[in-house]
C-alpha cells in the first residue's frame, strides 16, 4: 500500500506540469509546504521529462526562496512564511522509495546504475534496510540528466550514517570542496571560513565520481512529530529578533537525536549571554533550524552566537528561536567547540 502522508524530499507535480519539492513532514490541511524547483520550457534544456523539457528556476536555494515562490503561507505551525502549494493543485505525488523500487527492477544510464549501487552498498553494510531508503531529485522526477544531475539520497532514519563519506564514498576534497564552500557561502551570506567548518561528509560526499546529497526524514510522521508540530510549534508571545550566545551540550549527534536530523531541525541549549533582545541569561533555548548546514555546525556542541526571530514558549518557559528561513539575517556562528 502506497503511503499518502507527505514527507520531506517528496516530489509534487501540479496541473501545469511545474515540479515542487516537499519541505518537512508536517503540513496544513489545505496547503503543502514545498518550493517550486522546475517549470516547463520549450527552449533548450538538459532536463527532459516524459511531458517535455523543464527549466530549473533557482541557481542557488537561498533561505529567501520563499520570497521567490509563486505562493507562500504564513505557517501556523512554524510561525514563519513558508513556500507552499494548494493541495487541490497537486496532480502527481512522487515518493523517493518508489525510485529505488524502480531501479531494482530496471536501470538505464550510468547515473541510475551508480544510484542503485550506492543504495545496495548502504543496505549490504547493514546501515539501513531497503524500505527505509529513497532517491529524490531529478532521478525521482524522471527528468535527470546523466551529465548534470547529482544523487539525492533520502534515509528514513533517526540518526546519521557514520559510514557515509568514509566506508561508502569519500569526502569532498580539493577543488570540489572549495567549490562547495564558495557556493554555500554565497547562498547563506557567510564567510567561507565559517562554511568550511560546517561541512559534514555524511550529508555531502562523492561516490564513484558522482556527487551525493543525503537527507534524513521520519519513516512515519508519528515517529517524531505531533500533528500540530509538537515542540516545533512555538506557543506564546513574539519577542522580536534576539541575538544571544547559546551553549549547546555535546552528545547531540547520536541515534537518539531525531529532532536534530529531521527537517526542520530541533536543538536545545542554554542562554549564556544576551546581546540583543529580551532573552534572559540562564533560560532554556530551543532552536528551530531550517538550514542543514547550521545543524552541522552545532552537532558537536559548544558556544554559538545565534540570531533570529524568537518566541517565548509559555508551555515550558523556553525561548524558541527560528533560524534559516527567509530572514537572511538569522544565523548560527560557532564561538567554541
Whether residue 55 contacts residue 45, with contact meaning beta carbons closer than 8 Å, is answered with yes
Same domain, 129 and 55: no
More confident residue, 60 or 76: 76
Same domain, 279 and 199: no
Provide the residue range defining the domain that includes 20: 11-94
Angle at 96 between CA 92 and CA 99, to 5 degrees: 90
Residue 60: pLDDT band with limits 50, 70, 90: low
Q: List b or e across 207-238, with b for residues whose CB sees 16 or more CB atoms inside 10 angstroms.
A: bbebbbbbbbbbbebeebbeeebebbbbebee
**How far is the C-alpha of 11 from the C-alpha of 237, rounded, in Å?**
35
274 lies in some domain:
yes
63 lies in some domain:
yes
99 lies in some domain:
no
19 lies in some domain:
yes
Given a cut of 50, is residue 246 above it in pLDDT? yes
**How far is the C-alpha of 325 from the C-alpha of 330, rounded, in Å?**
8
- Give the chain's domain count: 3
Give the residue from 160, 142, 164, 150 showing the smallest Cα distance to 114.
150
- At residue 297, φ and ψ (nearest 5 deg) are -65, -35
Q: Over the stretch 130-188, which tens digit does the pLDDT of each residue have?
A: 989 999 999 998 888 888 899 999 998 776 788 888 899 999 999 999 999 999 998 88
pTM above threshold 0.75: yes
- Provide the pLDDT for residue 207: 96
Lowest mean pLDDT among 114-123, 233-242, 267-276, 309-318: 233-242
Give the residue from 57, 45, 46, 75 showing the smallest Cα distance to 19.
57
Same domain, 250 and 281: yes
- Provide the pLDDT for residue 254: 41
227 lies in some domain:
no
Given a cut of 80, is residue 3 above it in pLDDT? no
H or E element at residue 127: none
Whether residue 254 contacts residue 159, with contact meaning beta carbons closer than 8 Å, is answered with yes
Domain edge (last residue) among 157, 181, 216: 216
Percent of the chain's residues with pLDDT above 70: 85
Averaged pLDDT, 3-27: 87
Look up the CATH number of the domain holding residue 274. Answer: 2.40.50
More confident residue, 301 or 126: 126
Residue 296: pLDDT band with limits 50, 70, 90: confident
Q: Is 77 helix (H, G, I), strand (E, B) or coil?
A: coil
**How far is the C-alpha of 198 from the C-alpha of 292, rounded, in Å?**
9
Same domain, 276 and 317: yes
Angle at 266 between CA 262 and CA 267, to 5 degrees: 135
Q: Over the stretch 189-230, which tens digit does the pLDDT of each residue have?
A: 888 998 998 899 999 999 999 999 999 888 754 444 444 445
- Provide the pLDDT for residue 335: 84
Whether residue 270 contacts residue 279, with contact meaning beta carbons closer than 8 Å, is answered with no
Given a cut of 70, is residue 265 above it in pLDDT? yes
H helices present in 44-133, as ranges: 65-68, 96-105, 110-124
326 lies in some domain:
yes
Same domain, 209 and 238: no
Same domain, 112 and 159: yes
Given a cut of 90, is residue 250 above it in pLDDT? no
**How far is the C-alpha of 113 from the C-alpha of 284, rounded, in Å?**
48
Given a cut of 70, is residue 64 above it in pLDDT? no
51 lies in some domain:
yes
Whether residue 40 contacts residue 51, with contact meaning beta carbons closer than 8 Å, is answered with yes
- Provide the pLDDT for residue 192: 93
Averaged pLDDT, 20-42: 87
**How far is the C-alpha of 83 from the C-alpha of 64, rounded, in Å?**
10
Strand partners, 153: 135, 214
Averaged pLDDT, 38-64: 77
309 lies in some domain:
yes
Same domain, 87 and 154: no
- At residue 228, φ and ψ (nearest 5 deg) are -90, 5
Angle between helix 110-124 and helix 96-105 axes, rounded to 10 deg: 100
> Over the chain, what is the mean pLDDT?
83
Regarding beta strands 318-323 and 284-289, do their DSSP bridges make them parallel or antiparallel, or are they unpaired? Answer: parallel
Same domain, 165 and 254: no
Q: Over the stretch 221-240, which tens digit does the pLDDT of each residue have?
A: 444 444 444 556 666 777 88
Amino acid at each position: 500500500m502506497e503511503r499518502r502522508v507527505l514527507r520531506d524530499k517528496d516530489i509534487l507535480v501540479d496541473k501545469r506540469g511545474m515540479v515542487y519539492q516537499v519541505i518537512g513532514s508536517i503540513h496544513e490541511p489545505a496547503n503543502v509546504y514545498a518550493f517550486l524547483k522546475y517549470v516547463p520550457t520549450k527552449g533548450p534544456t538538459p532536463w527532459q521529462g516524459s511531458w517535455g523539457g523543464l527549466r530549473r528556476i533557482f541557481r542557488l536555494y537561498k533561505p529567501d526562496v520563499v520570497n521567490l515562490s509563486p505562493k507562500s503561507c504564513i505557517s501556523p505551525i512554524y510561525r514563519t512564511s513558508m513556500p507552499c502549494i494548494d493541495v487541490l493543485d497537486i496532480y502527481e505525488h512522487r515518493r523517493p522509495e518508489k525510485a529505488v523500487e524502480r531501479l531494482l527492477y530496471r536501470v538505464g544510464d550510468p547515473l541510475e546504475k551508480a544510484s542503485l549501487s550506492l543504495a545496495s552498498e548502504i543496505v549490504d553494510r547493514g546501515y539501513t534496510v531497503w524500505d527505509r531508503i529513497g532517491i529524490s531529485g531529478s532521478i525521482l522526477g524522471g527528468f535527470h540528466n546523466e551529465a548534470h544531475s547529482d544523487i539525492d539520497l533520502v534515509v528514513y532514519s533517526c540518526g546519521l550514517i557514520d559510514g557515509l563519506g568514509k566506508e561508502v564514498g569519500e569526502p569532498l576534497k580539493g577543488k570540489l570542496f572549495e567549490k562547495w564552500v564558495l557556493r554555500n557561502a554565497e547562498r547563506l551570506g557567510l564567510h567561507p571560513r565559517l562554511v568550511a567548518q560546517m561541512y559534514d561528509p555524511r550529508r555531502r560526499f562523492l561516490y564513484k565520481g558522482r556527487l551525493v546529497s543525503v537527507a534524513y526524514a521520519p519513516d512515519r510522521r508519528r515517529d517524531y512529530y505531533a500533528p500540530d508540530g509538537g515542540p516545533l510549534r512555538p506557543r506564546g508571545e513574539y519577542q522580536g529578533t534576539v541575538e544571544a550566545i547559546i551553549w549547546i551540550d555535546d552528545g547531540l549527534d547520536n541515534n537518539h537525536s531525531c529532532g536534530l536530523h529531521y527537517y526542520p531541525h530541533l536543538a536545545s541549549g542554554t542562554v549564556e549571554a544576551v546581546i540583543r533582545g529580551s532573552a534572559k541569561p540562564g533560560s532554556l533555548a530551543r532552536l528551530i533550524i531550517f538550514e542543514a548546514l547550521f545543524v552541522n555546525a552545532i552537532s558537536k556542541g559548544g558556544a554559538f552566537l545565534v540570531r533570529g526571530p524568537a518566541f517565548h514558549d509559555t508551555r515550558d518557559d523556553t525561548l524558541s528561536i527560528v533560524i534559516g528561513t527567509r530572514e537572511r539575517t538569522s544565523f548560527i556562528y560557532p564561538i567554541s567547540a
